[in-house]
Chains A and B, each alone.
Chain A
Amino acid sequence: QSALTQPASVSGSPGQSITLSCTGTSRDIGAYNYVSWYQHQPGKAPKLMIFDVSKRPSGISDRFSGSKSGTSASLTISGLQAEDEANYYCASITSSNTFVFGGGTKVNVL
């Protein structure tokens, strides 16, 4: 199975909004509303930020929002903060009943 496609990096200044893209296929993102997003900071375990395309787990700031259109998904971070600097991974269930991550996007806060 091929990894979902994410840009290597996205940068923004504090207070700005940035959008991370995630491109899949009709066999993963396009097939189900089960896109999730994970924040991964060095030395820590990954953290679920968005599930089921646009739902936020308890305790996750509403500055994080998710959406999907066709075979692509997006994560928007509003009011960018220094603490948001991390790697972000999108993920989806696949039609083979497996799970696939994207290659990851490094968010840089300038």
Chain B
Amino acid sequence: EVQLVQSGAEVKKPRESLKISCKGSGYSFSTYYIAWVRQMPGKGLEWMGIIYPGDSDTRYNPSFQGQVTISADTSISTAYLQWSSLQASDTAVYYCARPGRPYSSSSFDLWGPGTLVTVSS
């Protein structure tokens, strides 16, 4: 079955670091982009950035550049989203998503279930 499986919910304190994951299965992980999408409480979807696991080419939404790091490990078919110092405003659900076609990043037809990140002192 083609799917994206995300790591579980996290509760962290401000200034702590965090790395969440998204594991792809049932397809050639290296040839499909993986994007990260944020949904803050009561708000809409925001595209954070994208990585092509095959060569680690990464692009960021300017609003998130420098705030998070996107990476991937093709040996275990897993993409990551990480923070070095969390803030309360990072509280959100984070989705990973995959395009419907290899080498494409124009639309996303496969989504993970989301990871809830709660940052609170």
* A interface residues (Cβ-Cβ under 8 A, vs B): 1, 3, 32, 34, 36, 38, 40, 45-48, 51-52, 57, 87, 89, 91, 93, 97-104
Task: Count B-side interface residues using an 8 Å CB cutoff.
Answer: 24
Contact A51–B105 (Cβ < 8 Å): no
Known contacts A1-B61, A45-B111; A101/B95 CB under 8 A: no
Within 8 A of A (CB), among B11-28: none
Contacts of B100 in A (CB 8 A): 48, 51, 57
Contact B59–A101 (Cβ < 8 Å): no
Whole-angstrom distance between the Cβ of B64 and the nearest chain A Cβ = 10
B96's closest neighbor in chain A, by CB?
A: A45
Tell me if B35 is interfacial: C-beta within 8 Å of chain A: yes
Bound Cα distance from A1 to B47, whole angstroms:
10
Whole-angstrom distance between the Cβ of A73 and the nearest chain B Cβ = 13
A105's closest neighbor in chain B, by CB?
A: B44
Besides the known contacts A46-B45, A101-B47, 12 further A-B residue pairs in the complex with CB atoms under 8 A apart? A1-B63, A45-B95, A46-B95, A46-B97, A46-B108, A48-B109, A51-B109, A89-B44, A91-B107, A98-B47, A101-B44, A101-B46
Tell me if B112 is interfacial: C-beta within 8 Å of chain A: yes
Contacts of A87 in B (CB 8 A): 44
Whole-angstrom distance between the Cβ of A101 and the nearest chain B Cβ = 5
Contacts of B60 in A (CB 8 A): 98
Contact B46–A93 (Cβ < 8 Å): no
Bound Cα distance from A46 to B45, whole angstroms:
9
Bound Cα distance from A48 to B95, whole angstroms:
14
